[in-house]
Amino acid sequence: MKRIPWEIIFALLAGVGLGLIYSWVISPLRVIDASPVALRADFKEDYRSAIAAAYAANRNLPRAQARLALLKDPDPVEALNAQAQRMKGSTDSFQQADQVVALALALHENADNLPTSIPATEMVNGIEVTFTATIPPPPPDAPIFLTETQLPLETQPTLIASTPRPTATPVPTLGAPFTLTGQENICDTNLPDGLLQVIILNSNRRQMAGVKIIITWDGGEEQFFSGLKPELGNGYADYIMLPNIAYTVQLAVGSDVARGLTTPTCQSQNEETFFGGIKLTFQQP
């Protein structure tokens, strides 16, 4: 009777087990710089919610359309409406659902007038950096008119039945004020010069998308939102700072304020100087 080669079988099983442990635990695959189209379905919904929150704040429809185009939905309006219906039927915020509906209405009404705009990609210091054309926001003293229009359902087959309610608070409810829990200078030649990175966490240390970030400097102010680069984290946002300018960063009224932020001067291994960046971490207590 022929003997079964148990030693070889055990060696093969041990090799397979060690390979799985190494690939799943010790050194798992990390996907970076992925396109939003590769996101999981629930992360795509977070991405759309963040775009809708940004549109509710700045009314920049071309930018919202360009960001939605990265998801490559066959019908972006239908995708937004379907998501809004799911949000209204779950425990999600009705305010966030209304923002998604408002963006769907704006896209549908301006479908023939919006130019197609896809962010350009450029190689900087060996990495891909995406730039999106920015249309300046309206002046702060410009009046804002909120109107509500009932559209006939038979002429709007792609829209859901409810009409978005006007609201004076376009951004998601933030809850408790945020605390600045981390601030560090980053010297990395693989990152763009002057890159300001902001990470936003809730009280459970989970990243939060759609949070408005206000950055000001002497004679200027700008707003941007977390979650627009979900491949880097739902609570991630960034901004390019210019040299020799002091910036102030704040999330909401009552939150901690990061003051006097300037691009640090760093030195590479070749003893060449370059401008580094700053990383801020805000968390709800």
Do residue 136 and residue 81 come from a single domain?
yes
Do residue 143 and residue 184 come from a single domain?
no
Pairing of strands 220-225, 179-186: unpaired
Does residue 203 fall inside a structural domain? yes
Does residue 114 fall inside a structural domain? yes
Which amino acid, one-letter code, is at 74?
A: P
Do residue 136 and residue 183 come from a single domain?
no
Do residue 133 and residue 211 come from a single domain?
no
Does residue 121 fall inside a structural domain? yes
Does residue 98 fall inside a structural domain? yes
Do residue 192 and residue 256 come from a single domain?
yes
- CA-wise closest residue to 186 among 260, 279, 265: 279
Do residue 189 and residue 138 come from a single domain?
no
Per-residue three-class SS string for the chain: CCCCCHHHHHHHHHHHHHHHHHHHHHCCCCCCCCCHHHCCHHHHHHHHHHHHHHHHHHCCHHHHHHHHHCCCCCCHHHHHHHHHHHHHCCCCCHHHHHHHHHHHHHHHHCCCCCCCCCCEEEEECCEEEEECCCCCCCCCCCCCCCCCCCCCHHHCCCCCCCCCCCCCCCCCCCCCCCEEEEEEEECCCCCCCCEEEEEEECCCCCECCCCEEEEEECCEEEEEECCCCHHHCCCEEEEECCCCCCEEEECCCCCCEEEEECCCEEECCCCCEEECEEEEEEECC
User: 21-43 burial string, b = 16+ CB within 10 Å, else e?
Assistant: eeeeeeeeeeeeeeebeebeeeb
Which amino acid, one-letter code, is at 270?
A: N
Do residue 48 and residue 138 come from a single domain?
yes
Q: Which of 122, 155, 188 represents a domain boundary (last residue)? A: 155
Contact predicate 42/92, CB 8 Å: no
Which amino acid, one-letter code, is at 141?
A: D
How many domains are there within the chain?
2
Do residue 139 and residue 195 come from a single domain?
no
Residue 11: predicted pLDDT: 86
Does residue 21 fall inside a structural domain? no
Residue 170: predicted pLDDT: 41
Q: Which of 121, 155, 189 represents a domain boundary (last residue)? A: 155
The strand pairing partners of 197, in sequence order, are 238, 279
Residue 163: predicted pLDDT: 46
Q: Which of 155, 188, 213 represents a domain boundary (last residue)? A: 155
Domain CATH for 205: 2.60.40.10
Read off the tokens for 67.
Answer: 């960001």
Do residue 191 and residue 277 come from a single domain?
yes
Residue 189: predicted pLDDT: 85
Q: Measure the CA–CA gap between 226 and 176, rounded to whole angstroms.
A: 17
Divide the 285 residues of the chain into consecutive groups of 10 and give the mean pLDDT of each group. 75 87 79 74 88 89 90 88 79 74 85 50 46 47 46 44 45 66 91 93 89 92 89 90 94 87 91 92 91
Give the angle 100-152-69 at the CA atoms, nearest 5°. 35
Residue 93: predicted pLDDT: 64
Q: Measure the CA–CA gap between 181 and 277, rounded to whole angstroms.
A: 17
pTM to 2 decimal places: 0.45
Does residue 25 fall inside a structural domain? no
Residue 82 domain boundaries:
36-155
Does residue 67 fall inside a structural domain? yes
Residue 133: predicted pLDDT: 44
Do residue 109 and residue 219 come from a single domain?
no
Do residue 121 and residue 187 come from a single domain?
no
Residue 262: predicted pLDDT: 95
Residue 270: predicted pLDDT: 86
Residues 6+ apart with CB under 8 A from 108: 77, 156, 158, 159
Q: How far is CA 179 from CA 203, 251, 253, 256, 257, in A?
A: 10, 9, 12, 5, 8
Do residue 150 and residue 53 come from a single domain?
yes
Does residue 12 fall inside a structural domain? no
